A and B are shown apart, each in its own frame.
Chain A
Amino acid sequence: MTLPRMSLRVNGTARDVEAAPLTRLSDVLREDIGLTGTKVGCDAGDCGACTVLLDGAPVCACLTPLGQVAGREITTVEGLSEADAGRALQESFLRHGAAQCGICTPGMLVAATALLREVPKPSRAQAEAALGGVLCRCTGYAKIIDAVCDARPGAVAGMADETPAPALVQAPAQGRAVGARMPRRDGAPKVAGTEVFGADHRMEGELWVRAIRSPHAAAAFDLSGLTGWAKARGLMAFTAADLPGINAHGVIPPFADQPALAEREARFRGEAVALLAGPRDVLEPLDLRSAPVVWTELEAVLDPAHAIGARPVQDQRPDNVLTRGRVAQGDAEEGLAQAAHLAEVEITTAYVEHAYIEPEAGIAWTEGDVLNIRASTQAPVMDQEDVAKLLDLPLEKVRIRPSGVGGGFGSKLDVNIQPLIGLVALKTGRPARMVLTRADSLTSSTKRHPATMRARIGCDGEGRLTGMAFDGIFNTGAYASWGPTVANRVPVHASGPYRTPNYRAETVAVHTNGPVSGAFRGFGVPQAALVQETLYDMLAEATGIDRLAFRRINALKDGEPTVCGQKLGGVGIGACLEALEAPWQAALDRAAAKDTEGGRLRHGVGVASCWYGCGNTALPNPSTMRLGLTAQGRLVLHQGATDIGQGSNTVIPQICADALGLPIAQMETIGADTALTPDGGKTSASRQTYVSGKAALLAGQALRAQILMRANRAEEAVLTLEGARLTVRDAAGESVIDLAALPVEGDYVLVAEESYDPPTAPLDENGQGVPYAVYGYGAQVAEVTVDVELGTTKVTRITAAHDLGRVVNPLLAEGQIEGGIAQGLGMALMEEYLPGRTENLHDYLIPTTGDMPRIDPILIEVPDPEGPMGAKGLGEHVLIPTAPAILNAIAHATGVRVTRTPVLPHRLRAALREAGL
């Protein structure tokens, strides 16, 4: 089949392509021309990641047939740097921290370019409207809008209608990296469009791989006709029978139960049952519904409330109970009986989708007898272990070389495509590449656990808590994934960061034939916080105590026991709530002033807190970092903590550079790569700044100690590295170490490798013990306007006070806060994944530019005794208070408490109607 030749003009250059004119322009740009800066997130115009300019106007390249672009000028992200305005915009994105994972960045930059050509100095509203068609899941948009409004070359840094941004530190001096507001160190390729994400790496001779997935929640299947059908089309088929190893993967080995390819029975809609591999031009267009798979539907278990006792989803767990969690201290019932005021509520939450803009993608190939996998992941070593087990390979024969990660948020902790492409590469000896469609990503990946939670809290007449009882059912879906973690984390955290004597919290994670629920920013804690923070508002009302004051009365203090009996130092919740006092009063005044206007718009304010233990719950969770100096004077940090946009590539070197005592600009980083970097653990549980950061601190200190010992200089000595000359100077004088003259061991003349494992202790049958060594704290005030006639809620402002212990990088910390709030807002107001109904990004809604409020972050530093330089985790904390603060603000505005999320307009309207509004 010959394809027509066509000449295109891309970024001012003529490009000849041979492709069918009905092909999406995005595919031609990426696969034929190799301009992979144009990203594909949905193939439906729902995400805008593929935005390019066509004769200067923004279009979705995925919706543009090649036949329509002949003779027209196409501008992609790769062409932006050719103009001053483009470079200025890219620099503004770096300066403002507007790129986190970077997958939406090309679309944002291109859409902004179209705006800035017409409006060189746009207002925030103009920028929001121009970028309303590009989704971002990391940033909450605030810094993107800042960057666009501040992009004019030569413009003074700062935002049109805000106070000027604090000064940026491009290259902090020796010992000044920690605390510096420095741009992310890996940002340049993200704004240039040259970052290589999962879908971007191609190889000669590669096979395209697709999975056949179950269209049913529960079905037996017969694949006997598949091999012949595939062969007739020049394709190869693979099934579970081809997997050489143990066909059960899982992030928590004792619970590992998920087949890479289902055997005989599919247990959720979207589960892969077989693979097809072959030439892309044959396999890609095939409608796999035409493949000869005989499905026999089975009775699906869908209601978690009735899962116990229903047909077993998995034979090994006949009661459909994956696991139970429990924490108990004192006597909850007695405490409640003594209460002067008692509040009770039941809240139900939905499946929530991670909705990273990058669908799962990657490529696998063999080098000698080593299987290499380059895919989008949060956990390289866990991928290595699962792939080795599934494919029956020794660990060292699997090398995970992560690609850029276009968002993860928990779901890219579990393997998805990795064993599938690994299997094909291993069986065929050819590179195997797989790029999930948005629908396949949505149906195959893990979700936030839907929960039904009921709790009672009591307090005395002065507002002091006397007891709390909490019961929650968490729908963990067909396989274990992180269900045990959610079941165990929730009872530890369901009290919130408050002194709660007389406590009992019990959870059960039940199997259904729903999507697999796994890790999603907060591991169940955001759901539980909805319950506790709702009850706090009800009790504050009952006691007549101001809602913030009620929380301050009960805020946990240093040395007071947690519900696990742990006595903590560096407890920051009190400081966070105190910092919110003035913003809280101002917000209440604003709402009261507006509400005197009367009418259909009601204004309300809500507050909620969070705490969150960093790292695994009472389990080992080490990270290892290696730092070396070469004979040539290169300083190299082997940094295996995957940066999924949150900033570990910047924050960990900041800590390490200061521990060593050399300028961060002199530090190179390598990784993550399982062959090159020691295990930095998974990017999960808000652990990288704390755990990997501490390992980096120790490695920096250890290398420094070696240097000082060799030079025989004092602890306060100053290091200077110039080429291979390392100078060590103290009050007594200076020594010079000639690195080139030292013996080389491996790659280095001086090297230090250090591990750190958080000191936790196992929990007893009542959950008493030391589940985490470090916690982070925060609290947020949300202001909302509710249209009571339509049931719509507009969040107008969120003031977010978060205790980071030590702020390593304020720019990145703000980005975490703003992004977490966006996800919390989505969870509160619009996000609900329904299998078969919302398998795209126009039915599954996440916030756009126009949905985000003004966000005022307040960074608090209550040093943690254990964290590196006092630092605590932040990544998950930021999401937890948002949804409860919004729900509390809605209740304040309207008097109506909604007990089901998301609070879609029709749900709020129904509650208002019932209340006579």
Chain B
Amino acid sequence: MTAYHRPDTLDEALRIAADGACILAAGCTDLFPATSAQALTGPVLDLTGIAALKGITRSAAGWRIGAGTSWAEIARADLPEAFAGLQAAAREVGSVQIQTSGTIGGNLCNASPAADGVPPLLTLGASVELAGPAGLRVLALEAFMLGPRRVALVPGEILTAVLIPEVSGQGGFLKLGARAYLVISIVMGASRIVLDDGRIAQAALAMGAASPVARRLTALEAAVTGLRPAEAAGFDPVLVTRALSPLSDPRADETYRNEAAVTLMRRLIGEAGR
């Protein structure tokens, strides 16, 4: 039988993780589908027993979402309008069942190009807190997500929290799939837009499932700032497509993904403030 550890403190978890041999597990909603066997092969370090990794808190430094916080908890939390995109994404992760088990930390560490959580977190300026043998470090989310199935965790490190600064504006999220529930995105877009007197004072925009990792659309953000949403929505498509490198697969082809990304972004921007 393979080793299984389920400590209840982070210190204990870090001790177990130190040799880097363990697979880190949380909701297991990505680990189990990767095998047809009835049991996972370890050694596994299960982080779900650690109370300190759960919950959403706010301090002077901003928001802290424990890495072990489930999507169901995020969906139900009382959060400002800026988080509306993240909460909408939370309600579209897999199914209700997956949202009960699946965690925000697991979603990031699994690093699927179609991870629902990443685009809204990018628009919130999120960073991640990593605990390791050398102590704590904080990385911008963009620096953490390296590529498909690749993140900047070094052996022995554990993702402990997602940190979000105080942000304003209205969050939005649109997921496009070939059916209503339990669907992997063809593309998805997230937005956080601050309006001032009907004009876009600040825009944070991101696309997922259209590049190896979800991308902030900084050129588009700059281009729409200062405009009214309706006129901003008429942006030059290359401001989106230049940032993307979508694949063709059975879900959709590259041309479609580029076009749909532009469409989703036009809708997110155009509907800001409505």
**B residues neighboring A (CB under 8 Å):** 1-2, 4, 6, 25, 27-29, 32-33, 36-42, 44, 46, 48, 72, 94-98, 100-101, 176, 178-184, 186, 250-253, 255-257, 259-260, 263
Contacts and interface: CB of A to CB of B under 8 A. Distances in A.
A837 B184 CA distance: 14
Most buried by A among B6, B33, B72: B33
A832 B48 CA distance: 38
Most buried by A among B42, B97, B98, B101: B97
Given A132-B181, A834-B250, A48 B256 contact: no
Nearest to B181: A132
Interface residues of A, number: 65
Nearest to A1: B1
A712 interface: no
Contacts of B42: 22
A231 interface: no
Most buried by B among A3, A792, A834, A905: A905
A696 B171 CA distance: 63
A58 interface: yes
Contacts of B256: 791, 905-906, 909-910
Nearest to A849: B181
A115 to B, nearest CB: 8
B97 A51 contact: yes
A850 B176 contact: no
A845 B96 contact: no
Given A830-B178, A845-B183, A909-B259, 17 more contacts: A1-B1, A20-B4, A22-B44, A23-B39, A43-B33, A48-B95, A60-B98, A67-B6, A133-B94, A133-B97, A437-B36, A834-B250, A842-B33, A843-B250, A904-B251, A906-B253, A906-B257
A848 interface: yes
Contacts of B32: 24, 43-45, 62-63, 65
18 contacts: A20-B1, A23-B38, A45-B32, A57-B72, A63-B97, A63-B101, A68-B46, A129-B181, A133-B97, A285-B39, A837-B250, A843-B184, A845-B179, A849-B181, A850-B180, A904-B178, A905-B176, A906-B251
Contacts of B100: 54, 57-59
Interface in A26-59: 27, 43-46, 48, 51, 54, 57-59
A850 B46 contact: no
A845 B94 CA distance: 13
B36 A59 contact: no
A842 B93 CA distance: 13
Nearest to A440: B36
Contacts of A851: 179-180
Interface of A: 1, 3, 20-24, 27, 43-46, 48, 51, 54, 57-60, 62-65, 67-68, 111, 114, 128-130, 132-135, 284-285, 287, 437-439, 789-792, 829-830, 832, 834, 837-838, 840, 842-843, 845, 847-851, 904-906, 909-910, 913
B269 to A, nearest CB: 14
B39 A24 contact: yes
A285 B6 contact: no
B182 A790 contact: no
A850 B181 CA distance: 7
A886 to B, nearest CB: 14
A66 B2 CA distance: 14
Contacts of A130: 96
A381 to B, nearest CB: 33
B21 to A, nearest CB: 15
Contacts of A45: 29, 32-33, 94-95, 97-98
A57 B260 CA distance: 35
B181 A848 contact: yes
Contacts of A114: 96
Contact of B29 (A20, A63, A829, A906): A63
Nearest to B180: A850
B183 A22 contact: no
Contact of A133 (B38, B48, B95): B95
A59 B48 CA distance: 15
Given A789-B263, A791-B256, A24 B250 contact: no
A840 B250 CA distance: 13
Contacts, number: 169
Given A45-B32, A67-B4, A848-B181, A906 B252 contact: yes
Given A43-B33, A67-B46, A792 B182 contact: no
A48 B1 CA distance: 28
A722 B201 CA distance: 85
Contacts of B6: 21, 67-68
Nearest to A826: B179
Contact of A848 (B1, B176, B180, B260): B180
A790 B37 contact: no
Nearest to B44: A22
B176 A133 contact: no
A68 B28 CA distance: 10
A829 B4 contact: no
A58 B97 contact: yes
Given A45-B94, A790-B263, A63 B37 contact: no
Top 5 closest pairs, chain A to chain B, by CB:
A133-B95, A850-B180, A132-B181, A906-B256, A44-B33
B46 A65 contact: yes
Nearest to B23: A22
Nearest to A114: B96
A443 B180 CA distance: 26
Given A21-B4, A43-B32, A63-B27, A838 B250 contact: yes
B253 to A, nearest CB: 5
A259 to B, nearest CB: 24
Nearest to A47: B182
Contact of A132 (B41, B180, B251): B180
B36 to A, nearest CB: 4
A865 to B, nearest CB: 43
A59 B181 contact: no
Contacts of B255: 906, 910
A111 B252 contact: no
Given A45-B32, A57-B100, A284-B37, A905 B186 contact: yes
Contacts of B2: 20, 22
A129 B39 contact: no
A64 B28 contact: yes
Nearest to A837: B250
Given A62-B32, A132-B180, A790-B176, A22 B96 contact: no
A791 B186 CA distance: 12
Most buried by B among A1, A54, A60, A909: A60
A58 B102 CA distance: 12
A668 B184 CA distance: 47
A845 B101 contact: no
Contacts of A129: 96, 181
Contacts of B176: 790, 792, 905
Contact of A60 (B44, B97, B259, B263): B97
Contacts of A845: 178-179, 183
A133 B178 contact: no
A48 B97 contact: yes
A485 B251 CA distance: 32
Contacts of A62: 32
A65 B28 contact: yes
Contacts of A63: 27-29, 32-33, 97-98, 101
Contacts of A840: 33
A849 B38 contact: no
Nearest to B1: A20
A111 B97 contact: yes
A792 B33 CA distance: 28
B178 A285 contact: no
A786 to B, nearest CB: 14
Nearest to A40: B38
Given A68-B6, A791-B256, A842-B182, A132 B96 contact: yes
Contacts of A133: 94-98, 181-182
A849 B6 CA distance: 36
